[in-house]
Amino acid sequence: MMKKRLRGFTLVEVLAALGIIIVLTLSLVATIQAQVTRAHRQHLEALVAVVNSEIVAAYQGQNVAASDLKSGETMVKAQIITSAQWQELAGAVKLSLDEPPQFTVTGEP
């Protein structure tokens, strides 16, 4: 009686499949990281737009002193923006002291 030989994958075939899986996984991770960075920047830009609208409303309402608009901290104390908004903005934005003051996003968040 002849023995039937079981056939499996060779080591080279397994390593090739593993290599392909690794390359696909690394490209997926890079794509996801880029999308997360882009989403964070879009969130920051939207927050800057909201905060700038709040500053304009306070500035046009003339219910704030000019000293309340000199920094993020003074805006929080004057209740123009919230401390949560300022914590998200700190370090990622620049305040221009035009009339009215405006935040702009700087570089990478």
Cα separation, 96 vs 69, in Å, equals 10
What does the CA dihedral 20, 25, 31, 34 come to, rounded to 10 degrees? -130
Residue 1's pLDDT band (boundaries 50, 70, 90)? low
Cα separation, 49 vs 26, in Å, equals 35
Q: Say which residue the tokens 């390593």 belong to.
A: 15
More confident residue, 69 or 5: 69
Say yes or no to pLDDT of 109 above 70: no
Element (H, E) at 44: helix 11-60
pLDDT of the residue at 45: 94
Residue 35's pLDDT band (boundaries 50, 70, 90)? very high
